[in-house]
Structure 1
């Protein structure tokens, strides 16, 4: 089988102006995307992003989208990226929708801002005590026993993401967080970060319906021009209906990155371009042991751009 290539738009982690602002100001691909985003939004994205204090504010989310697509533009133009498939785990779905032509860029920008406000409104009154916690190196059976114990005690949890062997995202009520961290440590695991608001849990069906009725219903989603692999189960997405379902699934279905990896391998993909501010998907073992990974991120771009010329 001929070896194939995929572009991966990563899920969103904390990405402050102090971390990516210089890239956005200096990079010509970013500046071009920002100009188009400003027209779509009716305000200066850089100005709003500079003043944002929330890691997941409307402006931070749009900036992450813009940067991811600008980095893909750069990879296509300067690195010869010609992907056969596209993946957008979690927040990366939005960039995937724009890159594959399922949505126009301007519509994707507006949709991203509107979905950010939609989520903020939802979690202001619903599931206010829920967080999503990420942990690594947790042994499968002992950790499942701990989770079963929560259920036995009448508590609630949900697996919001499987990112690698022993690498999970778990949603719990906040009063259980300290106990979860202690259990992870006692098993030899390591607690990473906690997300507020939480993500990807079956309990958030109300958010899915709200996002569908108030935001997605107003946008025309087309068949993607490039085949997409869904981040929830690795299924292949080729139609507008499947694309719309995937975008809605992100609210109440978990990420399963190992299944995406298996699907890509089955499709003959051996090289990944990961375009976006990412310290996760390019590093997990199931990615690095299976693919030739080309990471295109703001830091590497700035290093190459600002490196002094050889005399």
Structure 2
């Protein structure tokens, strides 16, 4: 591949305000077109429930997040001459990557997200209500090992950079975990409720597998680089497996980043509402990192639609 090759990277779904997403879907003409496809697939309005929801991970907020990611990616590609040769997603961002790759039409992804979100909601009323996943930063592997020494039951559900981790544990141990992280010089960020990317959720994965049998994934036109092991996925079956196995498999973003590098990627567009990826030294130090988010449309002051991301 050419050394100037581009890639798209869709962020995970951090705290997202439903109202802000809804405003974007109305204001941006690309987003409105995607919204029409989504609402036709749903058979009802997506904007109405968004108007009454907060930051919960409902199916409506999840759908709006995907639509926003795809819309800003389309804008950036067209206006700045990007020519992606691969796509990827961090955690929930995989879903937007699946559509952009051509492996699943948007209308079908809307149906899939809706079915999966409802099944997850039902599952977590029956099981694993006591589990949460906690993001921590400035906690490299050796420090995290010390923090968790003798801690008891936990899982590593994600490694996003050398000192950015996602840990799943029982909520009654969360306060003690956060105290240890802070004492070690780290910071505790978002707490995910319910938990994600944990082997303990194996029963949920089995329930979701039944839903996935109803959907047919095509071979992607653009390879999707897995955020689980860094492998480029080129078949529909592998893409379906990526989404399904994310329930129980940890995110290993450095594996994806390393594969992008070996593919000769020079520029990466982070497309969508992002609170994390554009700050990661593992990305900013290896690529020309570009951002496309909602601010250019939602802000009353003129701003560049695409900005270079710098580490903080």
* TM-score band w.r.t. shorter chain: over 0.9
What corresponds to 1:135 in structure 2? 136
Q: How large is the Cα RMSD of the aligned pairs?
A: 1.5
Tell me if the contact between 1:49 and 1:60 (Cα under 8 Å) persists in the aligned partners: yes
The question of whether the paired residues in 1 share the 8 Å contact of 2:137 and 2:187 is answered with yes
What TM-score comes out, normalization by structure 1 length? 0.93
Query: Tell me, what secondary structure is at the counterpart of 1:218?
Result: coil
Matched residue, 2:239: 243
Stretches of structure 1 that go unaligned for 5 or more consecutive residues are none
Mapped to 1, the partners of 2:237 and 2:18 lie a distance apart of 35
Once the two structures are superposed, residues 115-138 of structure 1 have per-residue CA deviations (whole angstroms, 9 ceiling, x without a partner) of: 111111111111110000010111
SS of 1:251 mapped into structure 2: coil
8 Å CA contact retained: 1:132, 1:171: yes
Structure 2 contact 8–84 (Cα < 8 Å) conserved: yes
**Equivalent-residue separation in structure 1 for 2:143 and 2:285 (angstroms):** 26
Distance 2:143 2:113 in 1: 39
Q: How does 1:26-65 map to 2 (within 5 A)?
A: 26-65=27-66
The partner residue of 2:193 within 196, 218, 221 is 196
**Contact kept? 1:115, 1:211, Cα under 8 Å:** yes
Q: Residue in 2 aligned with 1:219?
A: 215
The structural deviation recorded for 1:306 is: 5.5
Identify the residue that residue 25 of structure 1 maps to in structure 2: 26
Q: Shift in Å at residue 76 of structure 1?
A: 2.2
8 Å CA contact 1:11–1:90 kept in 2: the answer is yes
Task: Choose which of 289, 296, 306 in structure 2 pairs with 1:300.
Answer: 296
Partner of 2:309: none
Kindly report structure 1 stretches of 4+ aligned residues shifted beyond 6 Å: none
Equivalent residue of 2:149, what SS? helix
Which runs of 5 or more structure 2 residues have no equivalent in the other structure? 304-312
Q: Identify the match of residue 285 of structure 2 among 281, 286, 289.
A: 289
C-alpha displacement at 1:113, in angstroms?
1.2
Structure 1 match to 2:181: 184
Deviates more, 1:34-43 or 1:18-27: 18-27
- Give the C-alpha shift of residue 73 in structure 1: 1.7
Q: Is the 8 A contact 1:139 1:187 kept in 2?
A: no
Q: Quick one: distance in 2 between partners of 1:227 and 1:62?
A: 23
Q: In structure 2, what is the equivalent of residue 102 of structure 1? A: 103
Deviations 1:126-155 (A, max 9, x none): 1110000010111432421332312xxxx3
Q: SS of the residue aligned with 2:275?
A: coil
Query: 166, 169, 180: which is aligned to 1:169?
Result: 166
* Aligned position for 2:230: 234
Question: Any idea what the Cα deviations from partners look like across 1:205-262, whole Å, max 9, x if unmatched?
Answer: 111111111x211001111110110001111100112111111111000101111111
TM-aligned CA deviation for residue 30 of structure 1? 0.8
The residue that corresponds to 1:148 in the other structure is: 149
